[in-house]
């Protein structure tokens, strides 16, 4: 595995928005709508337990689901078939961040919600050293990847894709290992799904998640 992951991130100007508390979320986890995707706003949101997704296409929604999907750093379920798959791919970090985002947001994919505004915003975070990706290659072709935001000992996994069997799982495993080896404490995947649960993701009550987040980001 190659790729730098040790550069100290650059703190951007603080957000001009006053973001709501994550505890005021509705039953779907929606906290509020509006604001912007400037680096300072994104970092403030993640530090406060929120993450953005498009809302009704043109708006920005801020979310804090309860429970929250969390992957224990020592609890990812790695099957024998996944271990065999890992050996068939090459993995890099931070070598094709924007391309990973665009592949995750392919409108032909189910729930391909990542638009140009989000790609631009997170690419800015990446250039400042806060957003990272894992890329999975086979014969020089990008066949899987995952991107997210790292703040201190916290990592927020945002989205992943694959065009080869197990490639997204390989990306997830690689990032979990990298975060754990760097002293990470918390790996957030937002919502749990049956697929993610099969990999070891557990539901964590919001109050417990926020407690762990505060420790991991300070």
Inside any domain, residue 4: no
Helix axes 97-104, 116-128, angle to 10 degrees: 150
**DSSP symbols for 42-61:** HHHHHHTT-EEEEETTTEEE
Inside any domain, residue 207: yes
Q: What order of strands is seen across the sheet that includes strand 30-33?
A: 30-33, 59-63, 51-55
| Distance in angstroms (rounded) separating the CA atoms of residues 152 and 185 | 9
Domain that residue 207 falls in? 68-216
CATH of the domain at 160: 3.40.630.70
Interval 47-81: pLDDT, tens: 999 999 999 878 999 999 999 999 999 999 998 88
Inside any domain, residue 36: no
Interval 93-147: pLDDT, tens: 999 999 999 999 987 776 668 999 999 999 999 999 999 999 999 999 999 999 9
The alpha helices in 9-106, defined as continuous H runs, are: 39-47, 80-86, 97-104
Inside any domain, residue 30: no
pLDDT at 5: 64
Beta bridge pairs of residue 93: 134
Its pTM stands at: 0.94
pLDDT at 81: 87
Inside any domain, residue 46: no
| Distance in angstroms (rounded) separating the CA atoms of residues 156 and 190 | 8
Percent of the chain with pLDDT over 70: 96
Q: How many domains does the chain have?
A: 1
């Amino acid at each position: 595995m190659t790729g730098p992951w040790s550069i100290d991130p650059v703190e951007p100007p603080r957000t001009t928005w006053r973001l709501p508390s994550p505890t005021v979320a509705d039953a779907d986890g929606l906290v509020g709508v509006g604001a912007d995707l400037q680096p300072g706003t994104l970092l403030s949101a993640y530090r406060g337990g929120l993450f953005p997704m498009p809302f009704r296409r043109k708006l920005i929604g801020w979310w804090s689901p309860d429970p929250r999907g969390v992957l224990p750093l020592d609890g990812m379920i790695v099957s024998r078939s996944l271990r065999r798959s890992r050996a068939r791919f090459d993995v890099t970090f931070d070598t094709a961040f924007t391309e990973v985002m665009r592949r995750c947001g392919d409108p032909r994919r189910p729930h391909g919600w990542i638009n140009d505004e989000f790609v631009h915003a997170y690419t800015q975070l990446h250039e400042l050293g806060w957003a990272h990706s894992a890329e999975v290659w086979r014969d020089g072709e990008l066949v899987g990847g995952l991107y997210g935001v790292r703040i201190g000992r916290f990592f927020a996994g945002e989205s992943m894709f694959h065009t080869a069997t197990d490639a997204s799982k390989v990306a997830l495993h690689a990032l979990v290992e990298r975060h754990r080896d760097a002293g990470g404490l918390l790996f957030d995947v937002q919502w749990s799904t049956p697929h993610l649960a099969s990999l070891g993701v557990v539901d964590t009550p919001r109050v417990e998640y926020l407690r762990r987040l505060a420790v991991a980001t300070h």
